[in-house]
Each structure stands twice: as structure tokens, then as C-alpha cells.
Structure 1
Amino acid sequence: MNILLVVPRLNIGGAETYVAITALSLHRLGYTVFVASGGGMLAGSLREQGIRHFYVPIRLSTALAARMLARIIRRNNIDIVHANSASAGYVAVQARQYVKVPVVYTAHGIFGHNTQEMTLDQCEKIICVSEYVRQYALEKGFTSQKLVTLYSGIDLTKFKAYPQKKELVRQMLGIPADAFTLAIVARIKNLRNKGHEDILQILKDFEDAHNWHLMVIGKGKGLWSLKYRVWRDKLSQRVHCLGHTIEVQEFLDGADAVVLPSKFETFGLVLAEAMAMGKPVVTYAVGGTPEVIAHGHTGFLVEKHNLDELHCRLRNLAEDSQLRLMMGDQGRGWVESNFDNNFSISKLTDIYQEVLGASR
């Protein structure tokens, strides 16, 4: 089976990480895998591991991208296209004007907001990363038989805790060994979407948080606004901006907990990754996050924008190292039972076979 994975970009993000993990997993199983995207750090990493990457400007021009995709499909005898994100899905559907190929679409976000996105119902199968996304798609009128919920899988060999690295990471960043340290991993489009603003507010306003540290992993258009806010609020000694990295796990070893107070998440891949590394997680109860976290068992779900409750839950973890360890252990077990990538890939290949069988 020749598989083409399509995604707009290959930098840090849920869809991008999913594509990279899926490509490598399928490659190891012996499938011939290609990836098409607008480029990014993960593209080079995939090439180094034997996966061919094609540059396709998916968000620059739909018409051009569809023609380029069709040519890639013909020249490489692609059996199935697996698109990720609405824009990639739309381009894949448009490419079928030029070449006949079945399309599977993974919805990493909610979709069906306009006429263009409704054309995604032409895909043979729509994989929803959470039940929340599937229910939303049903309400929008997508064909129920095409919709299937399949949680994103975590590479448990990559996301695995190495407690001995904690001291090394902290020494490198200048974080005291005994300081309660949080990590937030997200693209910084602005300070609101992923909750950077809320966690900075807690570090500034709550007295018992004045010794806490925060590792900010990720970059984006809002990075300079974040750095200005850190400078303005005199948080420079406690907020550590690490930028973009494809080796997130290397830094998470230095954290005591992971926080993601997003306005909205369809799944929250980083939450599952953090739990795989034995870290308790705290996030707002929005979208699909209640499906990822077992509240009070692997972390805490908090009412959106309730800073007092968010602070209270973080303080619970800051003051109780045994609670952190217990939730971390339970989180690892939860991910092993629910989000193991081996299971997800097995289900994904079953979907591919079903789609190919129906198209013959």
C-alpha cells in the first residue's frame, strides 16, 4: 500500500505531530509512505528517517496545490490519501478532479463551518480525534457512516520519563532544583488561545505562586507579546522561553506538571504526551479534554477562565509532591490503556483496508 499523508505545515502542533508519528509508524510496519506539506522542521526529520517529503503550498493556492497533489499521486502510484486539517482535506478532494484516489480525512478540529468545508463529506472516511468532534460533525450534517472516533496515539517509547534528567534540564535553564515548575507546550498564535495569558496572570497575581517557574515550549506570532508581558510583569527570572523544538520530551523531564488552559481543544495531544511521561496535567474542561483526562486521577479539569480554580488546582500540586507522583503514575497507566500508538495505528490501517476494499 502506497500512502500519502497531507498536512498544511510540519511544525509544532497536534496535527503536525500526528502526521509525523503516523508516517514513521506506518513506515516501520513496511508501508510505503509519502508526506506532502508546506514544509517545516518535522519535514527534515522525516526525510532523515527515509520518508520522502513533497513541498505543496496547501494554504497558498488551493488550485495549484490540488494539481501538484494529483501529479504526486499519479507518479507515485498512491493507493490512498490521508489528509489532515480542513484545508488539506479540501485540497485532496479537489485533486480528485484530475486523478481517482480514495481520501481519508482526520479532523483535528471542528469543521463544517462553510460550503468549502462541507465538501469534506466527499471523503470516504472521516476520522475524528475525539467523540466531541464526531458529535459536532453529526450536528453539521455529515454522513454518520463516514464518521469514526479514533484518538491520536502516543509513542510510549519516545514519551517516557527519565527522572535523572530533571536536574540537568533545570541546571541548563537556571531553575532551582526545589522550585515548582510548570510547562506549557503550544503554538503561540496569541496569548489567549492556548492560555498563556492566564498562567502568566497567576504567576504575577497570586502570592504563593511567586516562586513558581514556567517553561514555555513553542513559538508563533504571539511570542513577542508574551516576552513583552514577561518583561513588563517582572517575570523574566521565572518564565523560560524555549522556542520551538521537535523533542518536547527532553524538556518535560524538567517539569513537575503540565498546564494547558486553552480556550478550546478538540483533543489536546500534549496532555496525553505529558501523562505518558508521568506528569499530572491541568487544563480547562473544553471540547475534548474531558475525554483525555481522568479528573482527580491523572490531573484536573477546570472551568474555563476560572483563574481562582486554576490556581487552586496548581497549588494542590505545588504543595503535595506525593499527589504529583501518584497522578503521574496513574497518568502513565491511563495513556497505556487508552492512547497507545500501536493500537491507534492498527485501527488506522484497518480503516485504510476498509476504504480500499470499498473502492475496488
Structure 2
Amino acid sequence: MSKQRILILATTASMIEQFNIHNIKILQSLGAEVHVGTNFKNPGTITKDISKQLISKLNSMNVTYHQIDFMRGIGTHRANKKALQQVCNVIKENNITGIHAHSPLGGIIARRAGHKMNVKVIYTAHGLQFFKGGPLRDWFIFFPIEWFYAHWTDALITINQDDYSVSRVLPVKHRYYIPGVGIDLQRVSNISESRRRKLREDVRKKFNVKDDDFFIISVGELSKRKNHATVIKAIHELNDPHIKYVIAGIGNLKDELVSLIHKYHLEKQVSLLGYVRNLDGLYFASDLNIFISKREGLGLGGLDGIAHKTYIIGNGRTGMKDYIRVPETGLLMDNPSNVKNLVKLISSVRETTPRIYSISYIKKFGSCNVDECMKKIYMKEFDLG
């Protein structure tokens, strides 16, 4: 049997760096030659320096990488046409035999290219654009698009239970559910209690958080979808100088969030940290993780927080409800834009100071289980192993 050449395709380098290194290793372990196509120049939620480091890492892994000039969001007709041609060229010049695509635009262009070049396509939906309880507008716009491209989808992978249920009405050849993209539970569980206490003390000291302060964190891109503005408004409403809030992430909404912080005179309480690579200290130092994205496939920042035993407030209309147990590990909002409701939930957590005791139930979201699921999918769909 000739060697399989698999192209992993995503609109941003951050999706490769954060979600696909394990997939690359699995494909290589099964004997495939791996190629990566993404936008390294505009890398998404990671910095350009980390994007350069990713290129070095791919080189060291013997992975061939290709710059694809994807735009973020839905792109433009001209830009999408250019990206499609680039992907087709990669397929033709490298004899690509299969594609594993990520992100909505990456999934569409991959399926167009796969259909045109007669190449098999697996598409991982990191949260369908339409979802149960979501805006009707999204169903009217995005469901017909996904239904159309489902005809050119050899396998659809969903990472939460709601999306898997919805996928049953899409005419894809095969559909799978896997519990997320995999988090390194073993690494976190190996951090000793003394190390956890030290990290907590160091981070709280760094941000001038006193013993009687209530420290809240959010992790995620500075974008409207991640909904950090609602948290800032809630902190303004709470009017309590002992509440400190930090956001770890980069994005084009930075100036708008800075203006909001100035508007409410919260400069001494709210800080934007930029990109933070190692989040252990922040999770251990915090009293609450607020992760109320308006749309989220699963929400790695929420799941990772629970792995660190950090209590969470999440959005109940996303995949977060797959792993947040109310009230043991967190609370869920029906409407993530409801400032008054968030104020009540923050107050409730602060008054009761809940602690997470057992997280054994999230074992299925760990890398070991998810990697095994992906290995079986790759073996079946790409005829590997």
C-alpha cells in the first residue's frame, strides 16, 4: 500500500499549535506523511513569535508546512478563492491523499478542495455555528451552508453532545463524537500540593491580590465571542474594590476593553495580561474562573480550569454543560450577556467559597482517551495502521 499523505488544515496557526500536535503525532505513528496548511503570518490567538516557534517545532517533527492565506471569520470572495487555489496546489504538488480540516472557513475550503481534487476529507467542528437554543439567524444562515457541504464530508467529528445530536440530520457519510480535543490531565495531577500553594502565593503577590481579595480570571481571545465585556460590566455593578479580575489572551477587541475599564474606573481592579503560555499559576491563584463565551464548541479554558480544580461560571448553551457539574464544579448561565444574573452568580460564589473535591468524571476528556478515539477514526477513514 502506498504511503498516505495527510494534510491538516486550519485557518489559524493557533488551531494547529493548541489542538493538533497530538493529531500529527498519531498520524505519524500510523505511518502517514503529515503536512500542515494554515496562516502562520496571521496566527490567531497566539503571538507571531509563538507561530515562528510552531514552524520550528513542525520542522523538528519532519512535518511539511504550507502558508495558506486564510482570512479569519467568513473571509471575502477574493481571499477565499485564493486560499482554495493554494490548498488545491498543495494537494496536487504533494500528492495529498486525505485532509483533516478545522474551523468553519477551513472546513468549507477543505471540502471544496477535496471535492475538486477527489481527496477524502474529515472535518472537526469545534462548535457548529448553529446550535440548540442558539439564535434563529444562525440557523437560517449557517445550517443550509453546513447541510450543503455535508454532501462533500466523508467524516464529521463533533466535540460536544449537542453538536453530535444536530449532526444526525446532516448528510455526511460518517459522524463521530469525541470528548473534546484532549487535555493533559496527568501533567496537572502530578503538580504537588506544595507547588500549587507556592504558585498561588507567587501569582497573587505579583498582581497585588490580598488574602481577603476575591480573584477572578478569564482565559481566551479578546473578542466579542469570548464576552469579557459582560464580566467587566458585572464587576462595575458589584462595586467592590476587593474583587480583582485578570484576562489572559490577545485579540482585536483590546482597545475596546481598555476603554470599558477606563469608563468604569476599574484600572486598579481589572488587568489585561496578553498571551500567557503557562496558566497553572493563574488557575491555582484564582477563586473563580469565568468562561461565558457566547458560542463555544467545548471550551478548553473552562475544562482546563476544572482540571486545576478552579470553580467556574460557564455558558449553559454551549458544550460546557458536558463537563460542568452544577453546583459541584461550577454554575451555568442561560444567557451569557445577562449582567445582573452574572452579578448574582459571582456574589453567590463569593459568599459560599465552594471547593472542587473530585474531578475523576472528566477523565474521558483527557488526552489519553481522546487520542485513542482519534487513532481509531484515522485508521478507519484514512485506511492507516
TM-score bucket of the superposed structures, by smaller chain: 0.7 to 0.9
Task: Confirm or deny that 1:43 pairs with 2:51.
Answer: yes
Identify unmatched segments of 5+ residues in structure 1: none
Identify unmatched segments of 5+ residues in structure 2: 130-141
For residues 203-245 of structure 1, the C-alpha deviation after alignment (integer angstroms, 9 at most, x for no partner) is: 11124x4311111111222111111111121111111211123
| TM-fit CA distance, 1:184 | 0.8
1:64 to 82, 92, 113: 82
| TM-fit CA distance, 1:120 | 3.7
2:361 to 308, 328, 334: 334
| TM-fit CA distance, 1:349 | 1.5
CA contact (8 A) 1:258 1:282 kept: yes
Aligned residues: 345
Structure 1 residue matching 2:328: 3-state secondary structure:
coil
Task: Confirm or deny that 1:149 pairs with 2:177.
Answer: yes
Worse overlay, 23-32 or 71-80: 23-32
CA contact (8 A) 2:11 2:103 kept: yes
CA contact (8 A) 2:299 2:319 kept: yes
The change in CA–CA distance for 1:76 and 1:155 in structure 2 (over 3 A counts) is farther
| TM-fit CA distance, 1:339 | 0.4
CA contact (8 A) 2:249 2:275 kept: yes
1:10 to 9, 13, 34: 13
| TM-fit CA distance, 1:93 | 1.7
Structure 2 residue matching 1:197: 3-state secondary structure:
helix
Q: 2-side partners of 1:279 and 1:29: how far apart?
A: 37
CA contact (8 A) 2:23 2:374 kept: no
TM-score, structure 1 length as denominator?
0.85
The change in CA–CA distance for 1:120 and 1:226 in structure 2 (over 3 A counts) is same
For residues 105-158 of structure 1, the C-alpha deviation after alignment (integer angstroms, 9 at most, x for no partner) is: 0011224434477214312100011121123333xx412652222121112245
Structure 2 residue matching 1:96: 3-state secondary structure:
helix
Task: Confirm or deny that 1:181 pairs with 2:227.
Answer: no
1:257 to 288, 298, 312: 288
Structure 1 residue matching 2:13: 3-state secondary structure:
coil
| TM-fit CA distance, 1:98 | 5.5
Worse overlay, 87-96 or 155-164: 155-164
Q: 2-side partners of 1:242 and 1:185: how far apart?
A: 10
Q: Which amino acid aligns with 2:361?
A: W
The change in CA–CA distance for 1:75 and 1:58 in structure 2 (over 3 A counts) is same
CA contact (8 A) 1:20 1:46 kept: no
Instruction: Show the 5 A alignment for 1:93-132.
Output: 93-96=111-114, 99-111=117-129, 112-115=142-145, 118-132=148-162
Q: 2-side partners of 1:22 and 1:239: how far apart?
A: 37
For residues 291-339 of structure 1, the C-alpha deviation after alignment (integer angstroms, 9 at most, x for no partner) is: 1211112111123144444333323432344x22xx1x324x232x220
TM-score, structure 2 length as denominator?
0.80
| TM-fit CA distance, 1:159 | 4.6
1:310 to 342, 346, 354: 342
Structure 1 residue matching 2:117: 3-state secondary structure:
coil
| TM-fit CA distance, 1:260 | 1.4
What residue number does 1:81 align with?
A: 99
For residues 252-272 of structure 1, the C-alpha deviation after alignment (integer angstroms, 9 at most, x for no partner) is: 333222101233323222111
CA contact (8 A) 2:147 2:171 kept: no
Task: Confirm or deny that 1:284 pairs with 2:291.
Answer: no
Q: Which amino acid aligns with 1:296?
A: P
Task: Confirm or deny that 1:356 pairs with 2:374.
Answer: no
1:213 to 229, 236, 244: 244
What residue number does 1:245 align with?
A: 276
Worse overlay, 217-226 or 21-30: 21-30
Identity among equivalent pairs (%):
19
* Aligned-pair Cα RMSD in Å: 2.8
The change in CA–CA distance for 1:315 and 1:65 in structure 2 (over 3 A counts) is same
Q: 2-side partners of 1:315 and 1:29: how far apart?
A: 51
The change in CA–CA distance for 1:178 and 1:25 in structure 2 (over 3 A counts) is farther
Q: 2-side partners of 1:124 and 1:115: how far apart?
A: 16
The change in CA–CA distance for 1:256 and 1:348 in structure 2 (over 3 A counts) is same
CA contact (8 A) 1:215 1:241 kept: yes
